[in-house]
Chains A and B, each alone.
Chain A
Amino acid sequence: MHPLPRLASLLLALVPAAAGASLKVVTTTDGLAALARDVGGDRVAVTALSHGNQDPHFVDPNPNLAVKLRDADLLVDVGLDLEIGWLPPLVNQSRNAAIQPGNERRFTAASAVRVLDVPTGPVDRSLGDLHPAGNPHFLNDPRRAVEVAQALAAKLASLDPAGAAGYRARAADFARRIGAAEQRWLATLAPFRGQAIIAKHPTVTYLARWAGLRIVGYLEPKPGVEPPPSHLAEMVEVARAQKVRAILVETYYDTRTAALVARLSGARVCSLPGDVGASRTASGYEAYMDEVVKALAGALAP
């Protein structure tokens, strides 16, 4: 045996192996990783390419992530161009043709949900850094998370027929658990239905619709565009006029402008975990949504 393969196999043995797992699942975000763990159980070994405290639009295409993709039996991405700035070069470097878009070992979560904010007219970048296929920030709506989990279970079942019954059972269990939690979450948020909120970026469109909150403005005048003082002044006026209590900002954004608008308008900054894993306690999907609901209720309370 040549020394190089021997060294390689030695090093491979050092990698924390997923003992007994049949499928290596790589997801682009921690949120998708949580769903894959919920549905896959111990039949899958899940790795996320980015973490919940990162802005998923701006992840570095570190070539070591391509190594993870090389070994993936399934790649789960959000889609709608959320990962357009970093995922394609990694997939191309991976040598794994089966995870290319549209191929059998690629599951794009957006394919399982009804998408909001799909532009109807012509789209160009005068509208800001817009997602032309629609809003990809849909996992903060628990109903859509359940839809993604169920479609993911079907995908896993097709790739690993021996575990099909288990995937389906776990997806059904996830739907049951989230359904029950949803009643609890909606009860917590019920007193605030119809209230006006302001958000930093259209990351909370699905969340607001699910929780019955009205988004009356964004700190960014257009997606990805830094607000000039004139726009912030307008947001202060909107916040005062519409009695906005909460300004929603994900933890991966700078909160300076939000804090300023909040102070001048008498609102509160609501710091939201951007995804599962954004904080140590938001370790699974249910825990993440618990934190989101808690943060919303805390900020919206009179």
Chain B
Amino acid sequence: MRYVVLAGLLAAGAAAAQEPQAAAAATPPAPGDAARKAEEHRRLEEQIAKELGVSPAPAASPGAPPGPALAPPPAPPPASAAPLGGNPFARVLMLPDVSAIGSGALVWNQKDVQVVSPRSDPYGPGGKVQPVFQELEVALQSVVDPYARADVFLTFHPDGAGVEEAYLTTLGLPAGLQIRAGTLKSPFGRMNQQHPHVWDFVGTPLPMARLLAVDALEGPGVDVAWLAPVPWFLELHLAYQDTVPGFETVGRRTGVAHLLQYFDVAEGTTLGVGLSAARLDEPGAGAWRDLYGADLFLKIRPPQGRAYLTLQGELFARRLSGLADAGQDGTRLGGYLQALWRQNAYWGYGVRWEGAPAAGPGLSGAENRWTALATWYPSEFQRLRLQVSDDRLPGGSTGWEALLAMEFIIGAHGAHPF
């Protein structure tokens, strides 16, 4: 199947292609000869497709080039030569890396999610297949000067436009310190700090929306990270920010701490474990909100090849204290656990469980969601995901969900941390 689509892409790309190098040596064939060769080519292609267990391409590009338009090496300039009039590309050289990432989906929900299971998108009205535009992210990334770099992520989504993150990062502070300042995602757990296009699954797990924040715990502030002088990766973050927790509208002064460690357990096996805590001011004297998190990430990838297996999970706890309405005080728990198997460069499969306090009207108790995922990566720069979930609300009522999500990236986008 993937060859069929790939061949279509190739055929589209072949318009700009040049003659393959291999054909250059051939002499023009006679017409009868050409027909015989075409027949022979067709038979060969069918045999190859059969042996590989794929369908032959319907619209094969006869002239798919063996490589791009490549030039012979430039002659080294004479030692005395200096370009006349300086470098005409000086402005271009000064530009930051610019990239855009677009995502959208076709979604179908059995229930009216907005009412019975409030959460972050994407979801649609109950019972209808709904096309949704998720997000367009535009990134501008560059060093500022020899001492710092800046990363700016602008986001355009159905509710408008905004700044997803924009922060300065120091590059060479002493004593293992690194400071980020600007508006940024809080260093709380693993997924909260990642942008949606880094997530394996579409959308955040329910407990993040219910216990932290609908999109992410984020806001203006400063994050000081210390890399401990030990021979493995041990980083401690302390952040002070203004954030807006889930289903609230007013920002709160927030202190966050995150301790993150990575261990090379065996060749090709890396384990990351983290602990997070945050305290947020609540309106009213002596009232506050505590958040706790534990995160785990295990990646097993034999060095040779592209296949890997990841296991990722997080636990979250939220405790409200000293509220005017004492009935709201107390602790809520949630978590998720997911596994992704990347079979090769082109295919990946995953399963996820999420558990969180139900948030629909009149619902109390735990909501559990099970999800299966299949991802096709036509290249490094796009992916198509089919995701099916079963959302089990307290009281035994269930809701099926399905979505087909596409995502693309253009331009030079900085590589992501592990």
A residues touching B (Cβ–Cβ < 8 Å)? 8, 11-12, 14-15, 51, 53-55, 58, 60-64, 66-67, 70, 84-89, 92-93, 95-98, 100, 103, 114-121, 123, 125-130, 202, 215-218, 221-226, 228-234, 236-238, 241-242, 251-252, 254, 256-257, 260, 264
In contact, A97 and B2 (Cβ under 8 angstroms): no
Looking at the assembled complex, report how far the CB atom of A245 sits from the nearest CB atom of chain B, in whole angstroms.
Answer: 15
B112-120, B212-220, B224-232, B349-357: which lies at the interface: B224-232
Q: Which chain B residue has the least Cβ–Cβ distance from A115? A: B73
B residues touching A (Cβ–Cβ < 8 Å)? 2-3, 6-7, 10, 13, 16, 20-23, 25-26, 37, 40-41, 44-49, 51-52, 54, 56-57, 60-62, 64-74, 76, 143, 146-147, 149, 169, 171-173, 176-178, 227-233, 235, 262-264, 270, 272, 299, 301, 303-306, 344-346, 379-381, 410, 414-418
Question: B65, B73, B306, B346: which contacts A114 (Cβ < 8 A)?
Answer: B73
With a cutoff of 8 Å between Cβ atoms, the chain B residues found around residue A67 in the complex are 227, 231-233
Question: A129, A216, A221: which contacts B65 (Cβ < 8 A)?
Answer: A221
Question: B16, B41, B232: which contacts A234 (Cβ < 8 A)?
Answer: B41
With a cutoff of 8 Å between Cβ atoms, the chain B residues found around residue A15 in the complex are 231
Additional A-B contacts beyond A62-B270, A231-B61, A234-B41 (12; CB < 8 A): A8-B230, A11-B231, A66-B227, A67-B233, A88-B414, A118-B73, A127-B68, A230-B61, A232-B48, A233-B48, A237-B44, A241-B26
With a cutoff of 8 Å between Cβ atoms, the chain B residues found around residue A114 in the complex are 73, 76
Looking at the assembled complex, report how far the CB atom of B398 sits from the nearest CB atom of chain A, in whole angstroms.
Answer: 38
Looking at the assembled complex, report how far the CB atom of B2 sits from the nearest CB atom of chain A, in whole angstroms.
Answer: 7
In contact, B7 and A63 (Cβ under 8 angstroms): no
> Bound state CA distance, A58 and B47, in angstroms?
32
In contact, A11 and B230 (Cβ under 8 angstroms): yes
> Which of B23, B68, B231, B305 has the largest count of A CB atoms less than 10 A from its CB?
B68
8 A-B interface contacts by CB (under 8 A):
A11-B231, A62-B262, A87-B415, A95-B173, A221-B10, A221-B65, A237-B37, A264-B47
Count: A-B pairs, CB below 8 Å: 220
> Which of A93, A123, A228 has the largest count of B CB atoms less than 10 A from its CB?
A228
> Bound state CA distance, A11 and B400, in angstroms?
52
With a cutoff of 8 Å between Cβ atoms, the chain B residues found around residue A129 in the complex are 379-380
Q: Which chain A residue has the least Cβ–Cβ distance from B261? A: A63
With a cutoff of 8 Å between Cβ atoms, the chain B residues found around residue A223 in the complex are 67-68
Question: B67, B232, B415: which contacts A222 (Cβ < 8 A)?
Answer: B67
With a cutoff of 8 Å between Cβ atoms, the chain B residues found around residue A14 in the complex are 231
With a cutoff of 8 Å between Cβ atoms, the chain A residues found around residue B37 in the complex are 237
With a cutoff of 8 Å between Cβ atoms, the chain A residues found around residue B272 in the complex are 63
> Bound state CA distance, A92 and B180, in angstroms?
12
In contact, B67 and A53 (Cβ under 8 angstroms): no
> Bound state CA distance, A84 and B68, in angstroms?
20
Looking at the assembled complex, report how far the CB atom of A17 sits from the nearest CB atom of chain B, in whole angstroms.
Answer: 11
In contact, A119 and B69 (Cβ under 8 angstroms): yes
In contact, B414 and A229 (Cβ under 8 angstroms): no
